[in-house]
Chains A and B, each alone.
Chain A
Amino acid sequence: MKHLWIIWIYCGIGSSLLAQNSAEGLPISVSYFSQAVYQPGAKIGTQLNLRQWQRSYERKSNTYLKEQSIFVGPQLGFWMLPNDHRFVLLNAEIGYRYQKSRRQTFSAFSIGLGHLLQSRVESFSVDLGGGDIGDKDRVSSHHFMPSLNYAFGKAINSKISWFSRLSYGLKLASNDASRAFFLVEVGVWMNPFSSSVNQQQ
C-alpha cells in the first residue's frame, strides 16, 4: 500500500510541475540503462525546472553565459539479467544543473528516491533431452532505492543533447540484503518544441 502512496505522490508532484513547465515544452530523455553491458535495460524520463537563473563570465576576452537550474525529474527504468533478474525502477530526483554556453556542455548533480521492483529467478529446470530451460520460479520484492547521480552531456543543437550518467543507488531491504548498485546511462535528451537548449538536460 505504501508503494501506491509513493506513486500517487510522484504523479501529483509531476502533474503540478508539468503544468508550470508546459509552456516551455517537455524534454524527454531516452537512454540505455544498465549495470553492465551484459545486463541490458532502458530508461525514459523528463525534467521539470523549479528555478532557473544565469550569470555571465569572461574567458579570453569573450563573454559567456552559465545557465543554471534546480530541477526535478521523474523517470521509469528497467534493466535485466537474462534468465535471472528483472528490475523496474520508478524514480524521482531533485538536482542542480549548469550549462556553459561556450561549449554547450552541461553537468547535473541530483539525489533521487526510487521504488525498485525486483523479480528474481530462484530456480528453474533443465530439460535433459534438449537442454531447454523452463519452469522458472520467480520471487518478487519491493524496495526503496535512494540514489546519487551525476550526468554530463553536450547539446547537439537546440532540440537534442546527448548525455551519460552514473548513479550510485542503495537498494534498501529489511532482511539484511540491502545492497549498492552502480548504474550507467547513455542516451539523449529531446525537446522538439524547445527554442533553447537551456530547457534540456
Chain B
Amino acid sequence: MNRKEFIKQFALLGIGAPLMASLLGACDGKEDFPTVEGDFSGKVLIVGAGAAGITAGYLLARQGIDFQIVEAAAGFGGRVKRLDGFADFPIDLGGEWIHTDPSILSELISDSSVQAKVDIVNYRPQTVSVWKNNQLKKRNFVSNFYREYKFKRTTWYGFFEKFMIPRIEDKILYNRPIASIDYSADKVRATDVHGNAYEADRMLVTVPISILQQNLISFEPALPQRKMDALDSIDFPPILKVFIEFSERFYPDMTVIDGILIQEKLYYDAAFGKDAEKHILGLFVIGDYAVEYNEMASEEAVVQSVIEELDDMFDGQASANYVKSVVQNWTKEPYIRGSYSHFQADYTSTIETLVEPLGGNKLFFAGEAMVLNGDTSTVHGAAESAYQAIQKIMQS
C-alpha cells in the first residue's frame, strides 16, 4: 500500500489528517509536480486566496500571465492562519502539520534562485497518552511509528506570506465574496455580493468544497449533476482548534481521546520542538467530537468544557495553571464552514470529476479536495492542486 492509498483508507475510517500521513514516514518522498508551461496568454480570475489560490497566482505571475484574485475574507490564507503575540512563537490556527517530506516546500516555490532555509521540527512526540473511560494510559510506543513535521519558527501562513505573497500582493482583492459565476459565454464572469463584476478568459475556483456543496455560489449554467454528486459524496466535517497557555506543563506531548486510531480529538504540546518557554497546549477536534463544541453558546463555554476535561485527566492541574486561551472555530468562519475533505468512496474518480474543467475549458477547480494523484486534505496538497490546474489552463 503506498502512501496515497494509505491516506485514502484511513480517510475512509474517518481518521483525521494529523496522523494519517505520518504513520508512513518511510513513504515520504518528493511529489511529482507538473511543469507549468503552455501557450495561454489571456487573463485568469482566481476565486479564493487560500493555499491553492495563492499558489495559482504565484505560478501565473511567474509565467507573466495577467490574473486577478478575489478573496471573500479580509485577508489571505483561507484555512491557514497565524496567531501572533499569544505565545513566544507564532501559532498555526489552521493547517499546522506538514504531512509529507518537508522538501516539498522547495517544490512549491519551484525557484532554484531562492536563497533561504526554513527550520523544521521533526515532530515525533515522545510521550503519548490515551484518555479513554476516564483513564489516562501511556501509549509511548506510538512514537516508534508516528512522525510528522512542523515549522519551527514560522507557520504555513508565514511560508506563503514570505515566499509567494510578495509576487501577487497587488493582485488580490479582499472582502469580495463571489455570489455568482457565469461561464456560458466566451468570457467567464464572476459577480461578488456587492455587485462588482470580474471578467476573464479563464477562471479558477479554489473555494472550500463546503461553499460549493451549500450552493453559496450560483453557476450559470448550473454545475453538472455528476459534479454535484461528487461534491455531495465528500464529507466536510466541522473542526475546532483551541490553544491554552498554562503556567506549568503537566501534559504529555500528545493525548488522544478514545484511542490511538481515533484521531478526531487530541491534545498536543503546541510548543513541541519550538524552543519556546511558554507552555501552550493545543486541542484539535474534528467530526462528531467538534459538533458538541459547536453547539455551545460561547467560546468561553468551550474553554470551560476543555478545562474541565483536562482537570479530569490531570487531577485539577488545568484550572490551577490556566493563564489564557484562544478558540478558532473554522466551522463558524463564513467562507470556510468546516475542516477539510474526507472522501467516502471511489476516491480517484471523485477527484477526477471534481477537477474536470467546465464550459469548454474555461472554468477550472482546485483546492485541498481536488488533488489528482496527490495529497488531499493537506495544505501542500491544496498548493499542488494549483500546479495541476494552472498546467491545464496554460495548455488550454
Among A82, A135, A177: residue with most chain B CB under 10 A = A177
CB-defined contacts of A85 to chain B, threshold 8 Å = 124
Cα(A96)–Cα(B48), bound, Å: 68
Cα(A178)–Cα(B141), bound, Å: 9
Among B26, B119, B122: residue with most chain A CB under 10 A = B122
Name 18 extra pairs, CB < 8 A, besides A38-B25, A178-B138, A179-B141.
A38-B26, A84-B25, A122-B273, A123-B119, A123-B122, A123-B273, A125-B117, A126-B105, A126-B118, A127-B106, A128-B109, A128-B117, A128-B118, A129-B115, A132-B103, A175-B127, A176-B138, A176-B252
CB-defined contacts of A130 to chain B, threshold 8 Å = 106, 112
User: A35-B144, A81-B25, A177-B140 are contacts. A129–B107 as well, Cβ < 8 Å?
Assistant: no
Cα(A179)–Cα(B145), bound, Å: 12
Cα(A132)–Cα(B114), bound, Å: 12
CB-defined contacts of B202 to chain A, threshold 8 Å = none
Q: Mark B248-264, 1 if CB is under 8 A from A, else 0.
A: 00001000000000000
Cα(A157)–Cα(B30), bound, Å: 46
Is the CB of A8 closer than 8 A to any CB of chain B?
A: no
Task: Output the nearest chain A residue to B275 by Cβ-Cβ distance.
Answer: A123
User: A84-B25, A125-B119 are contacts. A133–B140 as well, Cβ < 8 Å?
Assistant: no
Nearest 3 A-B pairs (CB), nearest first? A38-B26, A179-B140, A131-B106
Select A124's contact among B105, B109, B122, B252, beta carbons within 8 Å: B122
CB-defined contacts of B127 to chain A, threshold 8 Å = 175-177
Is the CB of A121 closer than 8 A to any CB of chain B?
A: yes
Q: Which of A62-89 contact B (CB under 8 A)?
A: 81-82, 84-85
User: A84-B147, A131-B103, A180-B141 are contacts. A126–B25 as well, Cβ < 8 Å?
Assistant: no
Cα(A36)–Cα(B23), bound, Å: 12
CB-defined contacts of A124 to chain B, threshold 8 Å = 119-120, 122
What is the number of contacts between chain A and chain B, taking CB atoms within 8 Å?
Answer: 94
Nearest CB of A to B185, in Å: 41
Instruction: Please state if A129 and B106 are interface contacts (CB–CB under 8 Å).
Output: yes
CB-defined contacts of B147 to chain A, threshold 8 Å = 81, 84
Nearest CB of B to A146, in Å: 15
Is the CB of A193 closer than 8 A to any CB of chain B?
A: no
Instruction: Please state if B103 and A133 are interface contacts (CB–CB under 8 Å).
Output: yes
Is the CB of A142 closer than 8 A to any CB of chain B?
A: no
Is the CB of B35 closer than 8 A to any CB of chain A?
A: no
Task: Output the nearest chain A residue to B144 by Cβ-Cβ distance.
Answer: A35
Nearest CB of A to B35, in Å: 16
User: A122-B121, A124-B120, A128-B106 are contacts. A178–B152 as well, Cβ < 8 Å?
Assistant: no
Cα(A178)–Cα(B113), bound, Å: 45
Instruction: Please state if A178 and B106 are interface contacts (CB–CB under 8 Å).
Output: no
Please report A residues at the B interface, Cβ cutoff 8 Å.
Answer: 35-36, 38-39, 81-82, 84-85, 120-135, 175-181
Nearest CB of B to A41, in Å: 13
CB-defined contacts of A175 to chain B, threshold 8 Å = 126-127
Q: Mark B48-70, 1 if CB is under 8 A from A, else 0.
A: 00000000000000000000000
Cα(A129)–Cα(B103), bound, Å: 10
Cα(A178)–Cα(B127), bound, Å: 8
Cα(A132)–Cα(B121), bound, Å: 15
Among B107, B112, B252: residue with most chain A CB under 10 A = B112
Nearest CB of A to B243, in Å: 21
Cα(A60)–Cα(B326), bound, Å: 77
CB-defined contacts of B395 to chain A, threshold 8 Å = none
CB-defined contacts of A178 to chain B, threshold 8 Å = 138, 140
Cα(A35)–Cα(B30), bound, Å: 24
Select A129's contact among B113, B120, B252, beta carbons within 8 Å: B113
Select B140's contact among A125, A132, A134, A180, beta carbons within 8 Å: A180
Instruction: Please state if B26 and A128 are interface contacts (CB–CB under 8 Å).
Output: no
Instruction: Please state if A128 and B163 are interface contacts (CB–CB under 8 Å).
Output: yes
Nearest CB of B to A118, in Å: 10
Cα(A132)–Cα(B152), bound, Å: 17
CB-defined contacts of A180 to chain B, threshold 8 Å = 140-141
Instruction: Please state if B103 and A126 are interface contacts (CB–CB under 8 Å).
Output: yes
CB-defined contacts of A121 to chain B, threshold 8 Å = 122
Nearest CB of A to B66, in Å: 27
Instruction: Please state if A129 and B140 are interface contacts (CB–CB under 8 Å).
Output: no
Cα(A130)–Cα(B112), bound, Å: 6
Among B107, B115, B126, B252: residue with most chain A CB under 10 A = B126
Is the CB of B111 closer than 8 A to any CB of chain A?
A: yes
Cα(A129)–Cα(B26), bound, Å: 24
CB-defined contacts of B122 to chain A, threshold 8 Å = 84, 120-124
Cα(A175)–Cα(B252), bound, Å: 10
Instruction: Please state if B143 and A179 are interface contacts (CB–CB under 8 Å).
Output: yes
Cα(A52)–Cα(B318), bound, Å: 59
Is the CB of B116 closer than 8 A to any CB of chain A?
A: yes
Cα(A71)–Cα(B115), bound, Å: 59
